Amino acid sequence: MGDTRYLAWPFFESQHAQFAAALDVWATASLGHTAADHDVDDACRRRVRALGEAGWLQHAVGGKQWGGAADVIDTRSICLARETLARHDGLADFAFAMQGLGSGAITLAGTDGQKSRYLPRVARGEAIAAFALSEPDSGSDAAALQCAARLNGAHYVLDGEKTWISNGGIADFYVVFARTGEAPGARGISAFIVDADADGLEIAERIDVIAPHPLARLRFTGCRVPVEQRIGAAGEGFKLAMRTLDVFRTSVAAAALGFARRALDEALARVTTRKMFGGVLADLQLTQSSLAEMATTIDSAALLTYRAAWQRDQGQSVTREAAMAKYVATEGAQKVIDAALQLWGGMGVVHDVPVERLYREIRALRIYEGASEVQQLIIARDLLRDVRPSTP
Pairing status of strand 215-226 against strand 230-231: unpaired
Pairing status of strand 129-132 against strand 173-179: parallel
Measured CA distances, 260 to 67, 90, 333, 373 (Å): 32, 12, 5, 21
Phi/psi of residue 66, each to 5°?
Answer: -105, 15
Q: Taking a C-beta distance cutoff of 8 angstroms, is the pair 271, 282 a contact?
A: yes
Q: How far apart are CA 202 and CA 205, in angstroms?
A: 9
- Non-local (6+) Cβ contacts of 313 within 8 A are 74, 75, 76
Q: How far apart are CA 360 and CA 152, in angstroms?
A: 45
Name beta bridge partners: 148.
159, 179
Known catalytic residue at 369: yes
Residue 214: strand, helix, or coil: coil
**Of these residues, 202, 205, 369, 373, which one is catalytic?**
369
CB neighbours (10 Å) of residue 272? 12
Q: How far apart are CA 94 and CA 219, in angstroms?
A: 23
- Non-local (6+) Cβ contacts of 287 within 8 A are 271, 281, 343
| Active site amino acids | 369
